[in-house]
A and B are shown apart, each in its own frame.
Chain A
Amino acid sequence: MSIARFWRETPRRYNLGGSKCGNCNTVYFPPRLVCPTCPQHRATIEKMVPFQLSGEGEVVSFTVVQDAAEGFEMQVPYVLALVRTVEGPVLTGQVVDVEPKDVAIGLKVKATFRKLREEGKAGVIHYGYKFTPAAAPASAAGPRGPVEPVRPTEATARDRAVA
Chain B
Amino acid sequence: MKAGIVSYGAYVPRYRITPTEIGRVWGVDGEGMGQGLNVICKSVPAPDEDTITISTEALRTALIRGAIDPQAIGAIYVGSESHPYAVKPTATVVAQAVGATPNLTAADFEFACKAGTAAIQTCLGMVGAEMIRYGVAIGTDTSQGAPGDALEYSASAGGAALVIGRDRVICRVNRTVSYTTDTPDFWRREGQKYPSHGGRFTGEPAYFRHVTECAKAMMDAVGASPKDYQHVVFHQPNGKFPQRVGRQLGFNDAQMRYGLVTPFIGNTYSGAALIGLANVLDHAGPGERILMVGYGSGAGSDGFDLETTTEIATFDRSFGRPVQEYLDQGVELPYAVYAKFRGKIHMGET
Contact = CB atoms under 8 A, between A and B. Distances in A.
A–B direct touch, CB within 8 Å, in complex?
yes
A74 B264 contact: no
Interface stretch (A19-27, A33-41, A82-90, A111-119): A111-119
Given A114-B49, A158-B41, A15 B99 contact: yes
A161 B97 contact: no
Given A74-B340, A75-B48, A161 B325 contact: no
Contacts of A115: 47-50, 52-53
B328 interface: yes
Interface string B21-57: 0000000000000010000110000111110110011
A157 B329 contact: no
B18 interface: yes
Contacts of A143: 318
Interface in A118-163: 125, 127, 130, 136-137, 139-140, 143-144, 147, 149, 151-152, 154, 157-158, 160-163
Interface residues of A, number: 33
A107 interface: no
Interface in B62-84: 84
B78 to A, nearest CB: 14
B46 A161 contact: no
Contacts, number: 96
Nearest to B328: A160
Contact of A140 (B35, B47, B325): B325
A151 B49 CA distance: 29
A158 B52 contact: no
Contacts of A154: 35, 40, 263
A103 interface: no
A116 B50 CA distance: 11
A62 interface: no
Chain B interface bracket (under 10, 10 to 19, 20 to 34, 35 or more): 35 or more
Given A113-B57, A127-B97, A136 B321 contact: yes
A162 B328 contact: no
B96 interface: yes
Contact of A127 (B41, B93, B340): B93
A158 B40 contact: yes
Contact of A137 (B35, B60, B318, B329): B329
Contact of A163 (B50, B60, B329): B329
A125 B84 CA distance: 8
A51 interface: no
B227 interface: no
Interface string B312-332: 000001100110110111111
Given A127-B93, A139-B325, A162 B330 contact: yes
Contact of B324 (A10, A127, A149): A149
B210 interface: no
A96 B13 CA distance: 11
A15 to B, nearest CB: 6
A40 to B, nearest CB: 32
B16 A127 contact: no
A14 B329 contact: no
Contacts of B264: 157, 161
A67 interface: no
A113 B97 contact: yes
Contact of A162 (B41, B50, B60): B41
B48 A162 contact: no
Given A96-B48, A161-B16, A113 B56 contact: yes
Contacts of A139: 325, 328-329
B53 A114 contact: yes
B240 interface: no
Interface of A: 10-11, 14-15, 74-75, 96-97, 112-116, 125, 127, 130, 136-137, 139-140, 143-144, 147, 149, 151-152, 154, 157-158, 160-163
Interface of B: 14, 16, 18, 35, 40-41, 46-50, 52-53, 56-57, 60, 84-85, 93, 96-97, 99, 257, 263-264, 282-283, 317-318, 321-322, 324-325, 327-332, 340-341
Given A115-B48, A154-B40, A160-B329, 8 more contacts: A15-B97, A74-B341, A115-B49, A136-B325, A137-B329, A151-B257, A161-B329, A163-B330
List the 9 closest A-B pairs by CB distance, nearest first. Answer: A162-B332, A114-B48, A115-B48, A14-B97, A113-B56, A74-B47, A161-B41, A97-B14, A160-B328
12 contacts: A75-B46, A97-B46, A113-B57, A114-B53, A115-B50, A116-B48, A137-B329, A139-B325, A139-B328, A147-B324, A157-B263, A163-B328
